[in-house]
Amino acid sequence: MLKETTFRGGVHPPDSKSATREKPTRTLKLPSKVVLPLSQHIGAPLEVCVAVGSEVKVGTVIAKPTGFVSIPLHSTISGRVKAIGEALHPTGVRLPAVEIEGDGEDKWEEPATDGKKYSDLTPDELKECIRNAGIVGLGGAAFPTHVKLSPPPGKPIDMFIVNGAECEPYLTSDFRQMLERSKDLIVGIKIVQRILGSEKVLIAVERNKPEAIEVMDRLCREALNYEVVPLKTKYPQGGEKQLIQALTGRQVPSGGLPMDVGCMVHNVSTLLAIYDAVTAGKPLVEKVVTLAGEACANPGNYKVRVGALVEDILKEVEGGIPETLGKIIMGGPMMGIALPSLNVPILKGTNGLVLLAEPVPLSLHRQCIRCGRCVDSCPIRLLPCELAVFAEHQLWDKCREYSVKDCIECGACGYTCPAKRNLVQLIRFGKYTVMSQDRKKEKK
Amino acid sequence: MDATTEEKTNLLKVSSSPHILTEESIPGIMLAVVVALIPAFLGAVYFFGWKALLLTILAVGSTVGAEYCCQKVKGTPVTVNDFSAVVTGLLLAFNLPSNAPWWMAVVGGVFAIVIVKQIFGGLGYNIWNPALAARAFLLASWPTIMVSSTDFPPPRGGWLAGVKLDGITQATPLQLIKNNIAPLLKDPGAYTAEQVNAARVALEKMTGSESWLALFWGRIGGVLGETSAALLILGAVFLLVKGYIDWRVPLGYLGTVALLAWIFGGPEGYFTGDVFFHLLSGGLILGAFFMATDMVTSPVTRKGKWIFAVGCGLLTMLIRLKGGYPEGVSYAILLMNTATPMIDMYTRPKIYGGK
């Protein structure tokens, strides 16, 4: 039975998906060079294990993990290591990275699989496989997946949720993958189900993707414990806390994790990467990225190699840098980062490149009129207008009192503010200051 | 990187997420309120004539002018283009009786903007509703003028004819009942025959079969904005449907007044009150839909809005039934405006995942 549910709060930005949702995914040409930052995910830093001049193939491990919460980094093209140093990261900072110059031949390492079917592998073996493939959460947070799949013994997962919500405007990569690789997705789900041992699987898809709902529903008809749940199209429905609330009514405790309420959420693309790793021994070296936006002449979904430079991608897809480009966002327009330069690489967690024309001029920014739209839209029930003022005046204790650490930075408040205040920027300032103060206090 | 990329990179704009914003803006919201007030404005001009037009123009002119001058003197950016001063001017005009002298509109406008709004920091920082605070100021300073609107609006079709009731100072049905009819009914011997007659005429006007309908369509005396509930409600519906005002405040306010009016408002004991009469008179419709819903001076939280609305209703009925003034809307709202920061502090919602 397909019932519709939702969470409290949220906003309705225009979904802007019509330009890309009908187009099949296209694979781009092999890039002539890639830049692979060593920090593409949360966790311990990696140790480079190649030297300048080393020959590498696709899948060669170029940096090794140094802790449990860490995964290997693979070369995403075949060629030679050109440089090991610092390169511009999408966030604007220069960070350690490895640059590889391609030989144009796309030579791959031997697949790391011994032909065993996934159902013959133990959960630990499956997790090892996932770790070795360098898989992180591909919904945006990029957390090492094998760690997420290892909840401590006291936290059983009775509700495994597949996140097909894709609530950010413009982005359709998950949608296209659900249509184009639905059978692979089901196997990916089965693999994770085997690891977690959970009975019930909920596949969440927003209502603006009826074709995906239909495809998944058809495939799940035989499996009694798989349920496809259509969700009201509202931003940020794809946030895991909101998904859990909408689907199960449970709330992840403040400061806690979904496993604390017996849930775990995995993005559709992550599950497909798991499928590729377990069935074909393929590491995470490619991503489907949605290219869209009003300054984009050829919007669509493109399969790109991780590490390819944004500049090179634009040259291939758009034939150069679009004239009207005013702002380019890596990710979606609600939570993505505005790139300071086109000379930055695609990361493992990149889902979209949104090319916008002129952004909102700063002169429209006014003071808070206490209208309460931000309060109504906040999915965590915070008071964004108050938090922003506290952060602006550096009242850190007030920030703590008003739960600034619980902000998920979804941008719903900033989107809906008629005074065009930079609410998220101010709240982020408060949040990270408070977090760093608390970390220092803990160390003492 | 080639030269073109270098140039273009230098022109990329970088700012914090979110990168798309709603089309709604403060001027947009204010203009919507102005549009919503136009039917009532046209009604005021129809019922009261050119004086209504003049007072409105003067009020809006002085609020906008005062804001411009004040901001220039303060050295802060001039923000009259957000139309909030226009809204204040309109609402102030709606609080003036039609025979108010021209300078009252100007003094009220300057007071509303300079004292109640700009001195506190401008839009968003004022604690009290500027138009209502100005009305309270004018009422305290020039009570006889504010209260003595001796014109009844002329019957439909007759534009200059007015009905004057000599010798009795009254403005609104509530005042009439409270000050003139109730004592008269209690002690008719103390009054002259003309007074008794005039009161009877007035009472007939109000308790006749169309008494509250008259209030609804706007044929009973009052200040400019208090006469036609129909026209005000028309504007209010527009604002509600478009989401420019929160429905909780008018519902809570009117609901509370209706309930209390029913229980306590009747002259013959409990549960006999005339609910429609209380709802449609004394500027309640204007207050509930256009004054209490002012975002700056009302709470930001949902629970807070309900408390605010019920508080307004309670205070309004308390003042009407037990207080010295015949009409309690302005003071009720001003008192709840005062409580708003505290209400916000105590009605913080429980956060997602909170204990």
pLDDT in tens, B167-225: 333 345 555 555 555 555 555 555 566 665 665 566 555 544 344 455 555 545 567 77
Give CA torsion, residues A373, A378, A382, A388, to 10 deg: -60
Lowest mean pLDDT among A397-411, B256-270, B293-307: B256-270
How far is the alpha carbon of B101 from chain A, nearest alpha carbon, in Å? 33
Tell which residue, B245, B248, B267, has the closest CA to residue B256.
B248
Q: What is the pLDDT of residue B155?
A: 28
Q: Is B10 on the interface with A (CB under 8 A)?
A: no
Lowest mean pLDDT among A94-103, B57-66, B125-134, B140-149: B140-149
If you ran DSSP here, which 8-state letter would residue B181 be given?
Answer: I
How far is the alpha carbon of A368 from chain B, nearest alpha carbon, in Å? 6
Task: Let me know: does B312 contact B304? Beta carbons within 8 Å.
Answer: no
Q: Is the peptide bond before A236 cis (omega within 30 degrees of 0)?
A: yes
CB atoms closer than 10 angstroms to residue B76: 12
Closest chain A residue to B10 measured between Cα atoms? A341
pLDDT in tens, B168-179: 333 455 555 555
Q: What is the pLDDT of residue B178?
A: 58
Tell which residue, A286, A276, A162, has the closest CA to residue A212.
A162
Please give the Cα distance from A19 to A169 (Å, whole number). Answer: 11
Lowest mean pLDDT among A50-59, A132-141, B110-119, B166-175: B166-175
Q: Which of B16, B30, B249, B344 to mutate to test the interface with A (most CBs of A within 10 A)?
A: B16
How far is the alpha carbon of A354 from chain B, nearest alpha carbon, in Å? 10
How far is the alpha carbon of A265 from chain B, nearest alpha carbon, in Å? 17
Positions of CATH 3.40.50.11540 in chain A:
1-25+113-359
Residue A1: band (very low, low, confident or very high) from pLDDT cuts 50, 70, 90: very low
pLDDT in tens, A131-189: 999 999 998 888 999 999 999 988 999 999 999 999 999 999 999 999 999 999 999 99
Residue B225 phi, psi dihedral angles, 5° rounding: -95, 0
pLDDT in tens, A13-35: 999 999 999 999 999 999 999 99
| Residues of A with Cβ-Cβ distance to B247 under 8 angstroms | none
Task: Let me know: does B20 contact A334? Beta carbons within 8 Å.
Answer: yes
CA atoms within 13 A on the CB side of B95: 32
Q: What is the pLDDT of residue A222?
A: 76
- Helices B84-93 and B50-74: crossing angle, nearest 10°? 140
How far is the alpha carbon of B26 from chain A, nearest alpha carbon, in Å? 6
A366·B26 Cβ contact <8 A: yes
pLDDT cut 90: percent of chain B above it: 50
C-alpha distances out from residue B14 to A290, A326, B17, B21, Å: 20, 9, 9, 15
Which of B:73-92 have CB within 8 Å of A? 79, 82
Is residue B67's pLDDT more than 90? yes
Residue among B20, B28, B355 whose CB faces A169 most closely: B20
C-alpha distances out from residue A12 to A6, A415, B243, Å: 13, 9, 14
Closest chain B residue to A260 measured between Cα atoms? B353
Closest chain A residue to B299 measured between Cα atoms? A370
- Sign (positive or negative) of CA dihedral B109, B243, B296, B343: positive
| Three-state secondary structure readout of chain A | CCCCECCCCCECCCCCCCCCCCCCCEECCCCCEEEEECCCCCCCCCEECCCCCCEECECCEEEECCCCCCCCEECCCCEEEEEEEEEECCCCCEEEEEEEEECCCCCECCCCCCCCCHHHCCHHHHHHHHHHCCCECCCCCCCEHHHHCCCCCCCCCCEEEEEECCCCCCCCHHHHHHHHCHHHHHHHHHHHHHHHCCCEEEEEEECCCHHHHHHHHHHHCCCCCEEEEEECCCECCCCHHHHHHHHHCCCCCCCCCHHHHCEEEEEHHHHHHHHHHHHHCCCCCEEEEEEECCCCCCCEEEEEECCEEHHHHHHHHHCCCCCCCCEEEECCCCCCEECCCCCCECCCCCCEEEEECCCCCHHHCCCCCCCCHHHHHCCCCCCHHHHHHHHHCCCHHHHHHCCHHHCCCCCHHHHHCCCCCCHHHHHHHHHHHHHHHHHHHHHC
Closest chain A residue to B79 measured between Cα atoms? A366
Closest chain A residue to B84 measured between Cα atoms? A369
| Residues of B with Cβ-Cβ distance to A316 under 8 angstroms | none
Task: Let me know: does A161 contact A243? Beta carbons within 8 Å.
Answer: yes
Residue among B11, B13, B353 whose CB faces A338 most closely: B13
Residue among B8, B14, B301 whose CB faces A340 most closely: B14
C-alpha distances out from residue B136 to A4, B130, B146, B147, B169, Å: 51, 10, 10, 12, 19
Q: What is the pLDDT of residue B208?
A: 46
Is the pTM for the entire model greater than 0.90?
A: no
Please give the Cα distance from A272 to A278 (Å, whole number). Answer: 10
pLDDT in tens, A350-363: 999 999 987 656 55
Q: Both tokens of residue A142?
A: 């990029």
Record: fold of A1-25+113-359: Rossmann fold (3.40.50)
Is residue B3's pLDDT more than 50? no
Q: What is the pLDDT of residue B159?
A: 21
C-alpha distances out from residue A317 to A16, A137, A297, A305, A311, Å: 19, 26, 9, 14, 10
